[in-house]
Amino acid sequence: MPVQNADIAEIFLRTADLLEIQGANPFRVRAYRSAARTVSEHPHSLSALLLEGKRLPKLPGIGKDLAGKIEEIVETGACSALSELQREMPGELPELLKLAGLGPKKAAALHRELGVQSLSDLEAAAEAHRIRALKGFGPKSEEKLLRAIRRRLGGERRFGLRDAEQVAQSLIGWLKGTPGIGEVVAAGSYRRRLQTVGDLDILVTCERGEEAMKRFVEYDQVREIVARGETKSTVRLRSGLQVDLRVVPEQSYGAALHYFTGSKAHNIALRQMAVKKGLKLNEYGVFRDGERVGGVSEQEVFALAGLPYIEPELRENRGEIEAALQGMLPSLIEQGDILGDLHAHTRATDGRATLEQMAEGARKRGYRYLAITEHSRSLAMARGLDPERLRRQMEEIDRLNEKLGDFRIFKSIEVDILEDGSLDLPDDVLGELDFTVGAVHSRFNLSRQAQTERILRAMDNRFLNILAHPTGRLIGRREPYEIDMEKVVRGALERGCHLEINAQPDRLDLDDVHCRMAREMGVKLALSTDAHAPAEFDFMRFAVGQARRGWLARDDVLNTRSAADLLKLLKR
Ligand code: DGT
Ligand code: CA
Ligand code: CA
C-alpha cells in the first residue's frame, strides 16, 4: 500500500517529539511540526506524485532536507533519522509530553533521574512520592501530574459538537443571570466549529468578576471544581466535559475573544504578522511601545494587523491569513443560503415520521424543497424499498406535491452501492426519480483500491448524482473506510457527480479538509441532514459549520439553488 500523507506527517511529528525531549534546537523541532502539518493538509498524495516520477511541489517550510526525507519515507516506508532517535530513546517517552504540565525538559529529567519510560512508570513514581524530590518539581506538581496520568490512562475523551452545544447553550443561559454581566460567549474549538471539542472555553465580561466566578461554580451540572481563581476557573461537569471560564475587562474583550478562539496555530501566525507591524498582540489587547492601541473588538484586532475580518471557522492557519492579505478569502456559506434538504427518510423505511410530516417540517423551516431518500432493498434491516414500494411512494409524493403549492418534494432514493459497485435498483426505476443519492452501507473493510474502484464504478452509472456520507465514518466509533478521496473527487468531477456533507453530528462526512479539496477541484457539494424525523432538519447547522471550515461559498453548494436550477445542475 502506498505511503499516505498522514503517514509522512506522523513520522515528522514523532521526530519532533523525540528531538524536543533530547533538547534539540527549537527551530528544528518546529520545522518538523510545521512540515507535518503542511504534508497532512496537502490535498494531493505526495507518494502518488513521486511514484509517477514527478517532482515534489514547492511546499512552504519544506526545504531540501525535509523533501529528501519525504522521498525516503515514500521509498522505504520509514525514516532513518527517526529510527536513529528511537534507538536512543525508549518508546513511550513522547507520550509523556502530552500530559498537562510536562514539558520536554521535565520529561527528560524524569527519564534520567527516575528511569521513567512509560505512563505507568510515571504513575508508580508519583504514587511513591519520588517525583516531588526532583529539582523543578514539588508536591503540588506531583499531584497534578498524577491526576493528569490517571485521566490519560482512563482515555482522553473529546466531545461531539452536539453534546458540546447543549452544554454551552445551557451554561451561557445560566451565566447571563449573573448580576452585572456583559458579554458571554463560547470561544475555543467550539466557536471554530471543530467536529469535536476537548473542552469548552467560555469568556465573559462582568462588572465584578467574582460574581461570574461564583455563579459559574454553582452551575448544577458541576461535578468538580478543578481550579478557581479571580480571572480564570475550571470545572468538570457530570458528563466529564471540562469548562474553562475567563473573565476579561471590556476593553480587552476583542483581543481575548480572538486569543481564546484560537486556533493556537492561527494565533501564533497572526502575532507574527503584528510583530512585523511593530505591534504586540496578546489576550489583553494590541499594543505599540507598551501603549494600548486596540483590542475592544476582533475587527479592530484584525484591522490593526492589516487584515480584514477572518471568520472563526477559517482560523486554523491553513492559509487563511495569506488569503486575507490577498483579498482572496471566500465569502462563506451561511445557513440562510440553504433552500432545501437533499437526504431524508420516512416511516416507510427507518425514519420516524410520515412523508407529510417530513414535508411539513421542511416547509416550516422556510425550505422550498425536500428530497425523500429512503434506503433500497438490500438494506433489509432498514426495510429498504424494492421497485414496487418505491413506485408507490412516488405516487404518494405526486399526490402531496399537488397540495403543497410552491413547495416541492423530490423523488429520490439513498440507493445502496453493492460490493461490485453496481446499484441496488435497476436503471429504469432510478430513471423515474428526480435524482439519485447513493451510499456504501456494507463491506467497509475492502482494500483501499477495491473500495475506491467500487465507488468509481457506482459513479459510472449515469443515474447516480450524489454520493452520501463518502467515507462512512462515525466519529469516535467507526473509522472511515479506506478510500482514495482524491481519486473519488476527481472521478466525481469527470462524471458530473456530486458529494454530500452529511450533517448528522456523529458523521460530518465529508470532513472539513476533504470539503476544501472538493471545492478546490471544482466539485459541488450537497449539505444534507439525513433526517429521520423533522427535528433532525436542524442538524443542517452542523453541515454548514463543516462547509465553512472547508472554505465553501454559497456557489459551491448544490442546495442553495432554486428547485429548477438544482435539477438542471444535477442532470448528467
Ligand atoms: P480543544 O479544546 O482541544 O478542542 O481545542 P481549543 O482550540 O479549544 O484549545 P484550548 O481549549 O486548549 O485553548 C483555547 C484557545 O486558547 C486555543 O484555541 C488558542 C488559545 N491558546 C491556548 N493555548 C495557547 C498558547 O499556548 N498560545 C497561543 N497563542 N494560544 C493559545
Ligand atoms: Ca477548548
Ligand atoms: Ca481550554
Ligand nearest to the CA of 259: 1
CATH assignment at residue 30? 1.10.150.110
Three-state DSSP at 474 gives strand
pLDDT above 90 (res 31): yes
pLDDT above 70 (res 374): yes
118 assigned to some structural domain: yes
Q: Do both 460 and 551 map to the same domain? A: yes
Q: Do both 557 and 433 map to the same domain? A: yes
pLDDT above 80 (res 478): no
Q: What is the pLDDT at residue 338?
A: 98
Nearest CA to ligand 1 atom 17: 262
330 assigned to some structural domain: no
pLDDT above 80 (res 105): no
* Å from CA of 451 to ligand 2 middle: 35
Ligand nearest to the CA of 198: 1
193 assigned to some structural domain: yes
Helix ranges (H only) for 179-319 are 188-191, 209-217, 253-261, 264-276, 298-304
pLDDT above 90 (res 427): yes
Q: Do both 22 and 66 map to the same domain? A: yes
CATH assignment at residue 168? 3.30.460.10
CATH assignment at residue 387? 3.20.20.140
User: For 118-145, what is each residue's pLDDT tens digit?
Assistant: 888 898 999 999 999 998 899 988 988 8
* Å from CA of 243 to ligand 1 middle: 13
Ligand nearest to the CA of 195: 1
Q: Do both 125 and 93 map to the same domain? A: yes
Final residue belonging to a domain, choices 247, 267, 299: 247
Q: What is the pLDDT at residue 41?
A: 83
227 assigned to some structural domain: yes
Q: Do both 285 and 228 map to the same domain? A: no
Final residue belonging to a domain, choices 154, 175, 208: 154
Nearest CA to ligand 1 atom 30: 264
Residues at Cβ < 5 Å from ligand 2 ion:
188-189, 199, 201
Structural domain that includes position 163: 159-247
Q: For the whole model, what pTM was predicted?
A: 0.77
Q: pLDDT-based confidence at 447, cuts 50/70/90? A: very high
* Å from CA of 198 to ligand 1 middle: 10
Residue of 33, 195, 264, 315 best suited for mutating to test ligand 1, as the one with most atoms within 8 Å of CB? 264
Q: Do both 123 and 174 map to the same domain? A: no
111 assigned to some structural domain: yes
Cβ atoms of 414 and 376 within 8 Å: the answer is yes
- Peptide bond before 233: cis, by omega within 30 degrees of 0? no
Q: Do both 366 and 497 map to the same domain? A: yes
Q: Do both 439 and 564 map to the same domain? A: yes
224 assigned to some structural domain: yes
Nearest CA to ligand 1 atom 27: 264
Q: Do both 309 and 427 map to the same domain? A: no
User: For 153-192, what is each residue's pLDDT tens digit?
Assistant: 766 678 999 999 999 999 999 999 999 999 999 999 999 9
553 assigned to some structural domain: yes
Cα distances from 191 to residues 141, 172, 270, in angstroms, run 31, 13, 18
Q: Do both 41 and 173 map to the same domain? A: no
* Å from CA of 336 to ligand 2 middle: 27
User: For 384-409, what is each residue's pLDDT tens digit?
Assistant: 999 999 999 999 999 999 999 899 99
> How many independent structural domains does the chain possess?
4
Q: What is the DSSP string of 86-100?
A: HHHS-TTHHHHTTST
Q: Which three cell numbers stand for residue 343?
A: 437526504
Q: What is the pLDDT at residue 91?
A: 64
pLDDT above 80 (res 100): no
CATH assignment at residue 270? 3.30.210.10
Q: What lines the ligand 1 site, CB under 6 Å?
A: 188-189, 194, 197-199, 201, 259-260, 262-264, 267-268
Query: What is the C-alpha to C-alpha distance for residues 23 and 218, in angstroms, rounded to an integer?
Result: 44
Q: Do both 530 and 457 map to the same domain? A: yes
Q: Do both 163 and 142 map to the same domain? A: no
